[in-house]
Structure 1
Amino acid sequence: MELDLNLKYGFIKLKNMSSFIIEGGHRLKGNITPQGAKNEALQVICATLLTRERVTIENIPDILDVNNLIELLHDLGVEINKIESGVFTFKSENIDISYTETEEFRRKSASMRGSIMLAGPLLARFGEVVVPKPGGDKIGRRRLDTHFNSLMKLGADLTNDEKNQLIRLSATKLKGKYILLDEASVTGTANLIMAAVLSEGETVIYNAACEPYIEQLSRMLVRMGARIEGIGSNKLFIKGVTSLNGCKHRLLPDMIETGSFIGMAAMTESELTIRNTSIENLGIIPESFRRLGITIEQRGDDLYIPSQKSYTIDSFMDGSILTISDAPWPGLTPDLLSVMLVVATKAKGSVLIHQKMFESRLFFVDKLIDMGAQIILCDPHRAVVIGLDERFYLRGTTMTSPDIRAGISLLIAAMCADGVSTIHNIDQIDRGYQDIDKRLNELGASIVRK
């Protein structure tokens, strides 16, 4: 595997597709701390473009998606310095907006979905931006209408270059307006907030996403001098200002990692303490795992999962089969449904997993079926899992990770399976999980990177 060491920022970028070799059946024991939140990092790093002053961000995870975005900002002219592990400063004083017209910018932007959140801040500050069609997970249709329609309502003109798959936005001056979002898109809300804070007049955003990471972005912008009311609700009131200041901001722990570790502990019959989880920002995640029969104890800001030989899926009060589905916050995040589906394969009982928000996220279940899981894929959105309990164990096999969340789910399955499993294309996992093999091996796992 060829590595390109970026000495300036101190992180490693994987160039060739790698694999994990996992020996199943090893129990984990000890403490593990979630990394900084990936989705929040992508938002607040883009927000540093809104000011000429220095912004310090702490607890940044060393993962591919975030590292690629940091590199893209550097190419735009942002002065970036690594203070220590996970702590960076960003100073967007000398931005080369002409770089957005280059083929290199288009190529790099198109490789990551988080690049779409450059649109709001660059448009608000410079009056123009070029947006290539972004990349990211192949988990179904993820439309961008919410982003562009909202920016157009603030006064932006849009030109669609279908041949080159480019969107051009320009505006002499953005002006605040009442905007009812057609969906509570997280990245769409983030983009609109970042554009609105420098717009003229007041912007009202109704049906806004209100998850903790949007709260974090909003509070960071307020510390920078933005005027935002209604933070934490689905109706935001933003009075535009002419400029923003620098600030210091610390990322929340990643709730998806926390949920993934709960699933790992359950599947491998492990005793695990997940440290510093920011429990008040986990929403219904712990309770959703409890409904699968997993014992979770709250100890201060830590979650303790004792070793369990087996766990039984709950049912509804009328005795009908349990349904677990995703929903906009404060509902269950869709990023954890893949993990919960895997966890259910070893439980006692049955559950319907209903993935409402993305239509292709359940297509990895064929790999679990090859491992011996009993799953009925009803359609692109629904799967019935019949828990095997101790009647049968998953068996090791060779798989390929299709996206971040399916990748970590397959890793969890492999860790509890009989025999050895191989997971190819683990760059997908590295996009969202920092040093996951090293951290789990320290707890007793057997994972080799090839």
Structure 2
Amino acid sequence: MELAGKKVLVIGLGRSGIAAARLCIDKGARVEVTDAAPRERLSREALALEAAGATLTAGGHPPSLFDGTDLVVISPGVPSFPALEAFEKAGGEVIGEMELAARFFVGTPIGLIGGTNGKSTTTALVHVMLEASGKKAFIGGNFGTPLAEVVGQSFDVIVLEISSFQAERVPTLHARVHVLLNITDDHLDRYPSFEAYANAKGNPFVNMGPDDVAVIESGDKRLRRQAERGDAKIVTFSGHSADVYADIEGGAIVDNTRGARYPLSILRIKGAHNIANACASIAAATAIGATEDGIRAALASFEGLGHRTALVGELDGVRYYDDSKGTNVGASVAALRGLAEDKAVLIAGGKDKLGAYEPLVEALRQKGRALVLIGEAADRIEAAARGVLPVARASSMVEAVRVARRFAKAGDAVLLSPACSSFDMFRDYKDRGDQFAQAVQSMLEVRS
């Protein structure tokens, strides 16, 4: 991709926007960068772009920025706005950072992992499988490191977690493998409809051909419709008719794509949802070059990721689990149903994404001991759960843990899985999970 001498406008100065701007500067472009935040709220890294040669506009995106622009690179967290739409309508090219960076990795196979829930765990596990197979594999995208930060380096394979926001603008991004784990209500505060959200998730399938592999859950018609937007070979996971599935009675994950079996007993990650993630990971890693031995070694060593149904303590026969990464209803339902304990006190709530809470209430009918609510969405969740189980409110994470302890009985779990984003009360989901773990540890210290 030739950028020398072109005017590139980068909108949004989070980590991916900064990486995109630096890449364009390095390639000789005339770079302008802009962010809605005022200058005093920008990071040092964003401000340093000026010294690197960029022109910076803070506090908004005036239409004049688009004058003479050859290319716009927009960060995933930036919603559309009139000046951007006018630029596109006039034929201007607007892409995301992932699309930009991928244009500099022509010939390197790319594996994309998407879905509403489970994509971080699956991304990490696929990466471990490839590394254990002797591949030099990059892991990044929505997982953490923007691909633009490593342009110029050499890899055998690239593994990227891709969000719906990132998938909105990928007109040429070509995946050798694209996993779409599931699509459930999420980000309906950004998309005009659920169908628009689903279509964003499925966009990467469009550029796939017969030599590529689309990995989807068996029996999910919505996922199949998305996969069929391109020409990739479809490989399914989960369910006994799937290409890769868990034979619970036989105690193994069966991979019919290569005739392999992997003992369930070696898995370090727990829960039915993580068995499904493991099946999807096997399908993807096999398609992109992992060996049977590498996959087996990864399954036996991978312990999962932080803030995803992680046990943080046990007190009076009650286990406390941090699933702060459960930022939507589908993720919280999966975490709740995946617990080994028969009953759980659920701590939920946060910034409302405007999805339906009825699926969560149905899971609570089966597994719920009580529900402790925090954050802005508490009213809506309580309205949905009223009459189903005891509900209490808390104004802080410390109070929520204390209230949950009063409800819990020996043999129960206390699960933080908020079904909402964290930004009403916390810096991010990690901060929320850390505060939960700290509150649990404080109780343990007092008890000891």
Q: Same fold (TM over 0.5)?
A: no
Higher-helix-fraction structure: 2
Higher-strand-fraction structure: 1
TM-score by length of 1: 0.30
Q: Higher relative contact order by CA 8 Å / sep ≥ 6: 1 or 2?
A: 1
TM-score by length of 2: 0.30
